[in-house]
Amino acid sequence: MNGNFLTGAGYFLRGLGMIFQPGLRQFVMVPLAANILLFSLMGWGLFQLVSDFYDAALLSVPEWLQFLTWIITP
């Protein structure tokens, strides 16, 4: 198990070295930029969705359970 981790870390470092090779740069940077943009947009959308759900859930709590909103609200 320990050797597998070190082998995987070695492959990761070899891949980092390949980023700076001129012939491969376009095939690495374009997908990397697309992934960063995609995951940023998905993260923002998920945050908005959870925020709206959280607000709606807090508004639907009955009066006698209002103490729970104090416990779960950071």
Reported confidence tier of residue 18, pLDDT bands at 50, 70, 90 = confident
Q: Three-state secondary structure along 11-42?
A: HHHHHHHHHCCCCCHHHHHHHHHHHHHHHHHH
| Banded pLDDT at 73 (limits 50, 70, 90) | confident
Would the pTM count as exceeding 0.85? no
Q: How do the domains of the chain map onto residue ranges?
A: 2-72
Sequence-distant (6+) residues with CB within 8 A of 12 are none
58-71 pLDDT tens trace: 888 888 988 888 88
Residue that has been written with the tokens 């491969």 in this structure: 24
